[in-house]
Structure 1
Amino acid sequence: MIQLTLYTTLGCHLCQQLEGLLAQLSREPVALERVEISEDDLLLARYGVRIPVLVDAVGNELDRGFEAERLATWLEARGWLDDKAWQALRCGLNGEDEAPEACGSIMRGGRRYLS
């Protein structure tokens, strides 16, 4: 199980978005310790404009983890990324802009075929 800390605040829709992406892209289940920053002036000063901030066990931080590509890169660097889930999400986000091979299809003679 992956142990992470999430610096957040009540009603943070970006934090909810990050949690959803994290659940979708993680190779293993994730245990999140949520830290409410509004109850601590030091935390509010440090994270107030940066939330959501995700922190791993050794203290490495990820700002803007609600951006799928940033989160995927961060997870991949730690060996936690589910590559198939990331590929599927990329295809859904980018649609036709993604290379056909990356989205499970191949091009032959100008036609797209599902592989």
Structure 2
Amino acid sequence: MIDLKQIQLFGTLACHLCEQAQEILREFEQKGQISLIHCDIVDEPQWLELYRIRIPVVAYGDQELGWPFDAETVASWLKKLDAK
């Protein structure tokens, strides 16, 4: 069995950009390339401080990808993660 990368999507409710990011990432999740974890920044004070004006942000470990991004950008970012 392949270990899927657990990718965090930092966002919040009523954020249309976060919804767009989720749609892009859902494609990768449906293809079995990632496991997506939704992180609402209002749930953790440190997330709110870090990401308030930057959401949506995708993260894996200490590697982040900030908005704007599209499927091609995400694919390239994931490939770079694999190379590390």
TM-score by length of 2: 0.70
How far 1:71 sits from its partner (Å)? 2.0
Secondary structure at the aligned position of 1:78 is classed as: helix
Superposed CA RMSD = 2.2
Q: Which amino acid aligns with 1:47?
A: Y
Partner-residue secondary structure (3-state), 2:53: coil
Structure 1 residues 57-108: Cα deviation after superposition (integer angstroms, max 9, x where no partner): x3211111x52143232123234xxxxxxxxxxxxxxxxxxxxxxxxxxxxx
1:72 to 1:52, Cα distance in 2 relative to 1, 3 A: same
- Is 1:59 aligned to 2:62, yes or no? yes
Say yes or no: does 1:38 pair with 2:50: no
The letter for the 2-side match of 1:32 is L
Structure 1: runs of 5+ lacking an equivalent: 80-115
Unaligned runs of 5+ in 2: none
**Partners of 2:28 and 2:34 within 8 A in 1:** no
Q: Which has the larger radius of gyration?
A: 1
What is the count of residue pairs matched by the alignment?
77
CA gap of 1:19–1:7, structure 2 versus 1, over 3 A, is same
Question: In the TM superposition, what are the counterparts of 1:1-115 in structure 2 within 5 Å?
Answer: 1-25=4-28, 28-56=32-60, 58-64=61-67, 66-68=68-70, 69-79=72-82
Aligned mates of 1:63, 1:43 — CA distance in 2: 14
